[in-house]
């Protein structure tokens, strides 16, 4: 008998595959399924009285792990949300959800599998941030790209140069793979942060250039300067006034 309700294993294309066959085998005879919390069996999940006891176990687990979040959830539950704003209710539920997840994972003995999924989700975190900060706020705006004075071919050259300067591996670019998607997101965020600081600094937005940002701008400038096709269209970004690049020079990148 398999004691793990489901397995996570890499498929031939290295992407995550969830195989539920062991879960089916494990639950084909409910009497054989053992829960991972002492004193409870699968059959107890169908008994209201036993579910109430299990809920008490969860309450103790939640309170010990995060007393503040538990108190907030308890107050929300008692009031039914009366007098609370939608944002406050959302905050309470979001604070409680990780504890529910951990308790359920422990109950069914799938902590390792849940941890694997969490790690994989975290690895793709830059992708979600890229979509939020760049794609949604910049790419899909009505005036996106209007400031560019070059051709589409020059734009493609500049994009590839800048992405590679920020660490996107040349081997994955233009492959149409998930690896390319994530690499572009990571490199794109570094470029977005550079541009964001430049915009805010120009408007006295309370941000300052750091040595790391200056070094990042220098890499992009050098990458653009290496491409003969970009000598004209990227001249303003490549040129430096004085012996060393100023904040204004780096903002032009």
- Kindly report, residue by residue over 201-230, the tens digit of the pLDDT: 878 767 788 889 989 989 998 999 898 888
Please indicate whether residue 241 or residue 167 has the higher confidence score (pLDDT). 167
Please indicate whether residue 124 or residue 139 has the higher confidence score (pLDDT). 124
**181 and 100 together in one domain:** no
**86 and 41 together in one domain:** yes
| Token pair for 81 | 């949300």
CA distance 44 to 56: 14
Q: What average pLDDT score do residues 73-102 get? A: 95
Residue 249 has pLDDT above 80, yes or no: no
Residue 4 has pLDDT above 80, yes or no: no
Q: What average pLDDT score do residues 110-136 get? A: 88
First to last CA, the chain: 61
- Does any domain span residue 222? yes
- Does any domain span residue 137? no
| Helix ranges (DSSP H) in 109-210 | 111-123, 125-130, 152-165, 178-202
Residue 238 has pLDDT above 70, yes or no: yes
Q: How far is CA 35 from CA 22, 53, 54, 65, in A?
A: 16, 14, 11, 21
Q: What is the number of structural domains in the chain?
A: 2
| CA angle 14–20–23, rounded 5-degree value | 140
pLDDT score at 204: 73
**27 and 93 together in one domain:** yes
Range of the domain at 215: 149-252
Which residue is listed with tokens 């750091």?
210
Q: Which pTM value belongs to this model?
A: 0.61
Residue 41 has pLDDT above 90, yes or no: no
Closest CA to 150 of 214, 215, 227: 227
Q: Are 253 and 245 in contact (CB under 8 A)?
A: no
H helix or E strand, kind and range, residue 8: strand 7-10
pLDDT band at 102 (very low <50, low <70, confident <90, very high): very high
- Does any domain span residue 144? no
- Does any domain span residue 139? no
**105 and 175 together in one domain:** no
pLDDT score at 9: 43
- Does any domain span residue 134? no
Q: Are 208 and 149 in contact (CB under 8 A)?
A: no
- Does any domain span residue 166? yes
**16 and 110 together in one domain:** yes
**14 and 116 together in one domain:** yes
CB atoms within 10 A of CB 75: 12
pLDDT score at 99: 96
Q: Are 253 and 217 in contact (CB under 8 A)?
A: yes
Please indicate whether residue 236 or residue 55 has the higher confidence score (pLDDT). 55
Positive or negative, the CA dihedral 173, 119, 190, 130 is positive
**231 and 172 together in one domain:** yes
pLDDT band at 21 (very low <50, low <70, confident <90, very high): low
The DSSP string of 61-87 is: HHHHH-HHHHHHHHHHHHHTTTT--HH
- Does any domain span residue 245? yes
**190 and 116 together in one domain:** no
**119 and 30 together in one domain:** yes
pLDDT score at 10: 45
- Does any domain span residue 142? no
């Amino acid at each position: 008998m398999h004691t793990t309700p489901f397995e996570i294993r890499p498929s031939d294309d290295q992407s995550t595959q969830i195989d539920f066959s062991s879960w089916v085998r494990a639950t084909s005879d409910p009497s054989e399924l053992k829960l991972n919390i002492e004193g409870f069996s699968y059959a107890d999940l169908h008994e209201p009285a036993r579910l109430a006891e299990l809920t008490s176990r969860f309450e103790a687990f939640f309170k010990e792990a995060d007393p503040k979040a538990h108190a907030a959830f308890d107050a929300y539950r008692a009031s039914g949300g009366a007098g609370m704003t939608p944002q406050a209710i959302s905050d309470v539920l979001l604070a409680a959800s990780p504890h529910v997840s951990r308790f359920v994972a422990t109950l069914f003995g799938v902590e390792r599998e849940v941890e694997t999924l969490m790690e994989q989700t975290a690895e793709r975190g830059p992708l979600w941030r890229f979509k939020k900060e760049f794609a949604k706020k910049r790419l899909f705006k009505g005036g996106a790209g209007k400031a560019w004075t070059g051709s589409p071919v020059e734009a493609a050259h500049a994009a590839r140069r800048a992405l590679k300067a920020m660490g996107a591996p040349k081997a994955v670019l233009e492959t149409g793979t998930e690896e390319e998607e994530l690499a572009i997101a990571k490199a794109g965020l570094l470029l977005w942060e550079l541009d964001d600081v430049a915009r805010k600094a120009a408007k006295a937005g309370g941000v300052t250039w750091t040595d790391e940002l200056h070094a990042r701008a220098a890499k992009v400038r050098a990458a653009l300067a290496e491409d003969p096709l970009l000598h004209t269209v990227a001249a303003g970004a490549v040129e430096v006034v004085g012996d060393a690049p100023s904040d204004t020079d780096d903002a032009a990148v």
